Structures are given as C-alpha cells and as structure tokens.
Amino acid sequence: MTPRTTRVVCLVRRPDGEPVTGDFAVEERPLPSLGEGQLLVRNLYMSVDPSMRGRLESTEKHYTHNFTPGSPLDGRALGVVEESRCSSVPAGAYVRHQLGWRERAVLDAADTDGAGRIDPELAPLPTWLGLLGQTGFTAYVGLARIAEVRPGDTVFVSAAAGAVGSAAGQFARLLGAERVVGTAGGPDKCALLVKEFGYDAAADYRAEPVREALARMAPDGIDVYFDNVGGEQLAAALHALRTGGRVALCGMMSQFGGERRSAGSGQRSADINQLIQAVLKRLTLRGFIVRDHEDLRPEFEERVAGWLRTGRIAARETVVDGLENAPGALLSLLDGGNVGKMLVRLGDSA
Amino acid sequence: MTPRTTRVVCLVRRPDGEPVTGDFAVEERPLPSLGEGQLLVRNLYMSVDPSMRGRLESTEKHYTHNFTPGSPLDGRALGVVEESRCSSVPAGAYVRHQLGWRERAVLDAADTDGAGRIDPELAPLPTWLGLLGQTGFTAYVGLARIAEVRPGDTVFVSAAAGAVGSAAGQFARLLGAERVVGTAGGPDKCALLVKEFGYDAAADYRAEPVREALARMAPDGIDVYFDNVGGEQLAAALHALRTGGRVALCGMMSQFGGERRSAGSGQRSADINQLIQAVLKRLTLRGFIVRDHEDLRPEFEERVAGWLRTGRIAARETVVDGLENAPGALLSLLDGGNVGKMLVRLGDSA
C-alpha cells in the first residue's frame, strides 16, 4: 500500500529580515511512483543546520542551491526503506539522504550515502546524523585536515556548544590538543562545555569581550581556531594566535542580517584589517566545505565509531518532535536554542 | 684613517598621527673601533620600506624590533667595505646588511648577507636591494610558495607599481600566470603597469571601486591575490576569487592611521565577515614574513638573475640623493610617491 502523498515543509516566501514561522508552511504533496533503482523512504530524523539560513536568501551560495519559494525545503535526513526497487538496498534498511523536511521521500538508491552501512547497533540513529554524520565529519575535516591539529596544540572553538562545536572540542582533544577552550552563549552552555564536552575552559561571549576571555583561558596564546561565527570572535582569535597558527573557517553565523548581531548568532563585527595579524604571525586561514573531503570519510568513521564505542566522546542531540515543528526548530537553532546537534524526529523507528 | 663618527638619522619622537620630517633628525654619532671579525662599511644605498611605518609606532610587531626615540633607525643597506678585520670579506667588497639610515657602519661580517656574492657586473648595485634583494624575494616567496601560482592562473596584485608589486607582476607572468592585473594610485602609474611591468590590465583604485575594476579586468575571476594593502581591495579580491583561490598576505598599508585611509596608502576598510567568501569558495589566505623562507633564496637568485640577464624583467627604482633626504623619501613612499623600489643613495661607488 504505497502512500500517494507526503507532508512536506515548503518555503512560502523569503524572509524579510529574520525568518519567522510564517515564512514556512506544511503542505501535502504527491509522491512519485517508484522507478527502477528507486526507494520509498519513511524519514525518521532530519537535520536542522545553520547553513540553511543562507539558503533562505536569494543570494547564490556557490556550493549548494538555495531554497525556492513555493517548493519544499531539503536537507540531510535518515529513514527506513519501506519499498525498494534496488536489490542492494532492501526494505527495512536504514539510509541517509538529502530529502529531509518531509515525512516520506522517493529517491534514487544511488543518491543515498552509507546505504547498508548504517548499523543501529553501532550507534543510535540520531548519532548517524550527528557525530557520525556531516556534523561530526565537518568538525573532523576542519581539525584534522584544514587546521592540522597537532599534539600539544591549544585549540579554540567558537559556538562550542553547537553541533559542530561540541564535536570539535572532543575531537581536538583526541587528536592530541593539550588545551581546548571554547565560547558559547550563556552560563548554562558554558558549564556544559566543561562538564560534558571536555573543554578545559569556556567563556560566555555575551558576558565578556572574547579578547579578554581568551587572554584568561589561553594566556600563552592559541595554535588553532575553529571558526563557526566570524566577526569579533575571529578578530579576537587573530590576536590570540601564536606564530604559525591556523584557522579553519567553517561558517559565519554572525554574517547574517545587519540588524541582528547579538544573542544566538551573536557577534559584533570587526575590521578586515585585523588580518594584519596573519602577516605578523604567518597565520594560515582556510575556508572549507566538507564535501570536498570525502576521501577522509572512512578514516573519520572508523576513528569516531571507535571513540564512541569506548566512551571517549559523548553524543548530545537536541530533538524536536514532528514535521510541523521543524521550522520552529530551525528558528530556535539560529537563536542558539540547541545544545549539540539539532534534529527533528519525523517518525518512529519501530 | 678610520673615521671616528658617522652621520645617522635618528627618530626624535614617535609620530602623532602621520609622520612628518620633524619626527626625524640627522645627527653625528661616534663609530666604534673595529673588533675581530668586523667590517667598516661605507654605505652606498639604503632601502626605504613600507614596513618602516609600523616600526615608528610603539605597538610591538612580533617579527622585528621597533625604532626607539633618540636612537638611529635601521634597515637594509648596501655598501663597500673600507676596512676589514675578517679575512673572507676584504676591503673593496660589496656587502648587504641591516644598518641603513647612516653613512658608515661598523658591523660583524657574520651579519652581512650575500657577502662576496654581490657582483656589480651581474646587476647594478640598486638592483641588489630591489629585484635581487628582499623586495624581489618577497614577491617571489609570496607568489611561488605562499600563493603557489600555477600555469594558467589569473593573478591580481595591489600596490602594483610599488617595489614589491612591480616585481610581483613580472614574476607572476614568468611563473606561468596567464593573466596579470593590478591596481595603483593614479593614471600615470596605471599606464606604467601595462607599459613597463607587463600587466595585462591596470586600474586606478582612487578613480573606480576595486570590485568593479576587477569585474572588468578579470571577468572570469582571479585565482591568486597578492595583497599589499588589505582593506577594501582585499574584500574586493575575496569576491573575485574563484573556488580554491589563494591569497598571499604580504602587508597592509591601509591599516595605518584611522585618520588616513586615502591617497597613497589609500584604502577604505571592510568587514572581516567578507571572509565568508573563503568558506563558500574554499579559499586559503596565508600571511608570511620573507625571512622564514631563506631556503628558497638560491632558487630565487638564480631565476631572477637569469630573467634580468635575458631582459625578461625590468628593474625600476626611484632614487633619492643624500642621507638628509631619507626621512622625506620614507614620507614620499608612504604617500605613494615612488615607482618601483624606493632607495636613498648615500655615497658614490667610485
């Protein structure tokens, strides 16, 4: 009994300033019938990511398509195969794919990743979208390849209680960092950084200038900055970096909206000429997009699965229930309302 | 008849805003007597460099010492040995060293570089401080090692009529760049870029927004930006760079003086969050200090001497006469009054 329709979240209109829930609507849309090599997947979890903010705008992003008013959103999701016309991915298999923001999806088996490799015995399903998914992979690529974390390094991570940041702090330590410090919004998150995510020190960027916080947390300077926010935190890091320091530029939540540079996304900006520090101290700054680094994925999955198995890292997710609450989950994420990976549960795995 | 004193240029006081000639004074200072392994050098040429601007301030620079009020300035110079207590560097040899801003200097032979290697037959003396000196070496390191210029690249150079920029444009081409474009202050310099320094196109940053100039000069984008100025030119380059682009951060003349961001040093600034372009397009930005790359010097000297010999590059210097005019030469340099390398002639080589 193949369902003929599915509920999807559509973009109603591009946000006028900050996005609001009225920019989104849940609609019923037809599902195509299965062609050869295709799967019908019932989604169980979908990911909500900071990068979706930019995709709501009209400005082209160079590395992905933007959302279109009147059409469903998309994004990473994990589901169970209900029907299959691909012999290598049978019904009952768990697959990850790109058609989130909907309860069911028809897709080519070739467009799933890790098909057959998602073993719910190895790690809980949400972890496959978090520490073992793009989120964890982003943190791993940024530290291991882009910033080349080395034994003895002092590493600074911003947005450290977020999905990527909470992974980055833990990975940095396991990659040999001697000291790991981070910033987050609010005292509760800062407490979590130290208690749960293994940071040596944490600072609330809302309560203290980051330059002063770094002078306190890393008085001898830092070797690596994993940047999730840009703005004044990047400028503060440039001042704190030691000679030969490295910056992995992962994304800049502080770039969105001239009218909104406080609270969650939360950074005042700074002058580009702070980059004179990069000359004086021979710094390297590298931007990266994780999908350029698929060659690193096997190494990543093996190491992180091992760290999970032996209890050396803690997976932490913030889970919201129900497709209709997915837009609210995105808005909450952009406002800093999550700890760890932000997910929406779309169905029951039973 | 060893002279007992020498004329030197001293810093009288740190500049209050922009430096003025009254911040400097020519004084007579004693010369120490020669110790074992030392040389008395009569300086013939001294270099005037943009980086000297920062050394006038009190803020520490991480890579060199700052000038001290009441003491002589220093900087790269070239002279002839008048007396020697070092057997490997006889009287009459030409040496390069760090004690410029004075007519004579006593120094350790070990502190000279290229001693005995400066052959006035191979290239004129001024060229040993320009294309074959730190200036040319800075351009070479920035292009060949930091930005890794590759055949087919489109390369953009700012301050392109300056000492480093006029070398960089010529070197970029010889390193395989397909297209080389530059910016400079004023139509005369722009004409020189194309006529003398081999640039394919040039733009006057005073007359046209650099972002528009780049769209015109390099409509398909750029692969490499050799940055001498920071500010809005750096921001414009970030927008023009193609995926995988590289930026060599060499220095930021636009960083000096909040009150002075026009004319010669000449850049308005920009927001550090323009670095979001580095994420979207996987850019790498690297600051560098040339003295970290001495291992590249033999390759550099061999290649550039070859290019000079075969007439493939043009050396161009702006030469001011006399120690008493050295402060004015520095002020003129900071105001963009030079084409190519700015030198002060301190004596006659005859």
Residue of A339, A200, A337, A164 whose CA lies nearest to A266? A337
Is there a single domain that holds both residue B47 and residue B172?
A: no
Q: How many domains does chain B have?
A: 2
Is there a single domain that holds both residue A119 and residue A206?
A: no
Residue of B175, B99, B98, B166 whose CA lies nearest to B135? B166
Residue B264: predicted pLDDT: 40
User: Which of B254, B280, B284, B288 to substitute to test the interface with A, most A CBs within 10 Å?
Assistant: B280
| Cβ-contact A184, A190 below 8 angstroms | yes
Size of chain A in residues:
350
Q: Which of A231, A254, A280 sits opposite B61 (nearest CB)?
A: A280
Q: How many angstroms separate the CA atoms of A75 and A333, rounded?
A: 15
| Cβ-contact A210, A203 below 8 angstroms | yes
CA of A272: which chain B residue's CA is closest?
Answer: B272
Nearest-CA distance B48 → chain A (Å): 19
Q: Phi and psi dihedrals of B110, rounded to 5? A: -65, -20
Residue B46: predicted pLDDT: 97
Position A247 in a domain:
yes
User: Which of A63, A164, A273, A284 to substitute to test the interface with B, most B CBs within 10 Å?
Assistant: A273
CB contact under 8 A, B286 and A289: no
Strands (E), chain B: 5-11, 24-30, 38-47, 77-84, 94-97, 104-108, 154-157, 179-184, 201-204, 222-227, 241-249, 284-287, 317-321, 341-345
Position A301 in a domain:
no
Residue B8: predicted pLDDT: 98
Greater confidence, B349 or B35?
B35
Is there a single domain that holds both residue A114 and residue A142?
A: no
CATH of the domain at B284: 3.40.50.720
The region, left, alpha or beta by phi > 0 then psi within -120 to 50, assigned to residue A283 is beta
Residue A253: predicted pLDDT: 67
CA of A60: which chain B residue's CA is closest?
Answer: B280
Residue A11: predicted pLDDT: 97
Is there a single domain that holds both residue A248 and residue A334?
A: no
Give me B348's structure tokens: 């006659």
Is there a single domain that holds both residue A199 and residue A268?
A: yes
Query: pLDDT tens-digit profile of B210-258?
Result: 999 999 999 999 999 999 999 999 999 999 999 999 999 998 765 554 3
Domain boundary among A246, A274, A291: A291
Residue B254: predicted pLDDT: 56
Residue of B344, B341, B10, B321 whose CA lies nearest to B159? B341
Structural domain for A190, as ranges: 134-291
Which 3 state secondary structure label does DSSP give A16? coil
A332-336 contacts at long range (C-beta below 8 A, 24 or more positions apart)? A333/A48, A333/A49, A333/A50, A334/A18, A334/A19, A334/A50, A334/A53, A334/A253, A334/A256, A334/A264, A334/A265, A335/A263, A335/A264, A335/A265, A336/A162, A336/A185, A336/A186, A336/A189, A336/A263, A336/A264, A336/A265, A336/A266
CA of B275: which chain A residue's CA is closest?
Answer: A230
Residues of B in contact with A284 (CB under 8 A): 284-287
Is there a single domain that holds both residue A324 and residue A261?
A: no
The region, left, alpha or beta by phi > 0 then psi within -120 to 50, assigned to residue B329 is alpha
Is there a single domain that holds both residue A169 and residue A92?
A: no
Query: pLDDT tens-digit profile of B123-147?
Result: 899 999 999 999 999 999 999 999 9
Residue A207: predicted pLDDT: 95
pLDDT(B116) > 60: no
CB contact under 8 A, A272 and B277: no
pLDDT(B58) > 80: yes
Residues of A in contact with B231 (CB under 8 A): 272-273
Residue B265: predicted pLDDT: 40
Residues of B in contact with A251 (CB under 8 A): 276, 279
Q: Which of B271, B278, B289 sits opposite A269 (nearest CB)?
A: B271
Residue B113: predicted pLDDT: 67
CATH of the domain at B93: 3.90.180.10
Q: What is the mean pLDDT of each run of 10 residues along chain A (350 residues)?
A: 89 94 97 95 95 87 84 95 93 93 94 68 91 95 98 97 94 97 96 94 96 98 96 96 97 53 54 92 96 94 93 91 97 89 88
Query: What average pLDDT does chain B have?
Result: 91
Query: pLDDT tens-digit profile of B69-115?
Result: 999 999 999 999 999 999 999 999 999 999 999 999 999 998 876 55
Q: How many angstroms separate the CA atoms of A225 and A142, rounded?
A: 10
Residue A122: predicted pLDDT: 83
Position A68 in a domain:
yes
CB contact under 8 A, B230 and A273: yes
| Cβ-contact A194, A172 below 8 angstroms | no
